[in-house]
Structure 1
Amino acid sequence: MPSRVELAVEMSQSESPIRTMFDVQRTAIKQSQQLFEQGLAAQRNVDAMALTGLEGQASLQRQQLEFAQAASHGYVSAAAALLPSDDTEAHRAIDETFDQLKATHAEFYDALERDLERDLNAATGLAEDVETALDEQTEQFLELTASIEEQTVENVDEFSSRLDEQLERTRELQTRLADQLERQTDDIEALLEQQADQIETFQQQLAEQTETGLQQIPVQGRDEPHTKIETDPEHTLEAIEGIDADVREELADAGIATIDDLTRAGADAVAEATDISEDRATEWIEQAEA
């Protein structure tokens, strides 16, 4: 199972999520820009259609005036045919009236068209200014986004490199620790084996020494000890008055074989070993010390 450091390295080494995030952001910005520009273009088309509609309406009304003028002339001509009279003046009056109506109509629609064109030009200019500003700001924002993207990718690469180095150092440390632990384990096992051998040797020596010591200690209840305690004749207990062979044997059983042993033993130990009074034992010790 990968560690947290390895997972972080794998995530940092993959640039796809970061690139994808910035690509999505740029796409969204460009789509918003395109939608806004399409809205401006649609508005311009609506304004152009309004101007075209106004021109069509003016042309239609002009045709209606022409038709009304012709109808008026026809009505006057028909009336003159029924009632013989001079209709020249009537026709002239009709032409003057309709000429004035046509002039007024033309002035009205010319003024209306000029106002609409002025408004359309102003709206178009404003839309172009807005579109130009939007293009510039979008371009600047995209450049800034690209710079941020490069910086982010660079930071991610640096972070990934540091994580790689840290992971490599961690692996090396783990390897060194494992080797050191293995060496220490081997050393401990060797030391334990050595100590076990030493303990076994010591036990063997102790057993041999114990067996040797037991062989040198006289066995009570027997006439003769396993090993006779040899002492310097000048320091034996034979020089002490009152200590005969039986007493010397009793003292030897208690580990008192020489005059030096007697002086070091103490009256109570001597009395206990030979079943005599401490006063008597004190006298023997005083003789030994003399």
Structure 2
Amino acid sequence: MSTQQNPIGTMFELQRSAIENSQRLVHQSLDAQTRGAELAVETIERSDTVREQGEDVTKAAVNAYFDALATAVPGDAEGVEGLRETVLEQFDVVGEVNEDAWEAGKEFAQRNAEAVEEFSEEYASMVDDAFDAFLQTHEQAESSTRQAADVVQQGTRTATEIAVESAEQAADAVEESAE
């Protein structure tokens, strides 16, 4: 087999490089999908923290309102306190419903992220196997093509040598007959 670089070798090297780049792009795409699912979980967790802080600020504002109301209406402190308790109980109920909804959302996002990661790992493994098999076949095709090119090149050399030898013999024969 010829060891010098030739157009056939260059062609196969370019193909191999393109195939390997495609494999890297598939992995990068899978990594991006996995990271996207992880970011969704992180975003939900951060949003839940903001929601909890918002509830705390709102409760504090409601308590401040009822404190101001109790000061403004000193004779009806019992009514104001009853109203405060009712409103705060409603906040607690809404808070529990919100907490359950956010927890369900976080659990769903986490399961989704885990499923995406598992799928990506399995798919990446299948892609790697397919690319490896393709590259192995590609190498075999390159080897066969190089061998065929070497045979053709050797055949061309042999045919050229025969043609030169025949031409020399013909020239010698013409020269001899001319004498």
TM-score grouping bracket, smaller chain normalisation: 0.7 to 0.9
Q: Which amino acid aligns with 2:116?
A: A
- Bigger RCO (CA 8 Å, 6+ sep): 2
Gaps of 5+ in 2: none
Instruction: State how 1:145-224 maps to structure 2 within 5 Å.
Output: 145-186=138-179
The residue aligned with 1:134 is 127
Instruction: Report the Cα distance in structure 2 between the residues aligned to 1:46 and 1:66, rounded to whole angstroms.
Output: 30
Identity level (%): 25
Instruction: State how 1:67-146 maps to structure 2 within 5 Å.
Output: 67-82=57-72, 83-84=74-75, 85-86=77-78, 92-146=85-139
Q: TM-score, normalised by structure 1?
A: 0.55
Q: Which of the pair has more CA radius of gyration?
A: 1
| Superposition deviation, residue 46 in structure 1 | 2.6
Q: Which amino acid aligns with 2:102?
A: Y
Instruction: Report the Cα distance in structure 1 between the residues aligned to 2:125 and 2:138, rounded to whole angstroms.
Output: 20
- Are residues 158 and 175 of structure 1, via their aligned partners in 2, closer, same or farther at CA, if it must alter by over 3 Å? same
Q: Which amino acid aligns with 2:25?
A: L
Match of 1:39 among 29, 50, 59: 29
Residues 177-198 of structure 1 show CA distances to partners (whole Å, capped at 9, x for unaligned) of 2112211111xxxxxxxxxxxx
Q: Which amino acid aligns with 1:28?
A: A
| Superposition deviation, residue 149 in structure 1 | 0.4
Residues 143-186 of structure 1 show CA distances to partners (whole Å, capped at 9, x for unaligned) of 11011101111111122112212221221121112112211111
Match of 1:51 among 20, 41, 58: 41
Q: Which amino acid aligns with 1:49?
A: L
Contact 1:13-1:156 within 8 A present in 2 as well: no
CA RMSD after TM alignment? 2.3
Instruction: Report the Cα distance in structure 2 between the residues aligned to 1:131 and 1:22, rounded to whole angstroms.
Output: 24
Contact 2:37-2:116 within 8 A present in 1 as well: no
Contact 2:55-2:95 within 8 A present in 1 as well: yes
Q: TM-score, normalised by structure 2?
A: 0.85
Match of 1:29 among 19, 27, 33: 19
| Superposition deviation, residue 139 in structure 1 | 1.1
| Superposition deviation, residue 95 in structure 1 | 4.3
- Are residues 133 and 79 of structure 1, via their aligned partners in 2, closer, same or farther at CA, if it must alter by over 3 Å? same
Q: Which amino acid aligns with 2:37?
A: D
Q: Which amino acid aligns with 1:157?
A: D
Q: Which amino acid aligns with 2:28?
A: Q
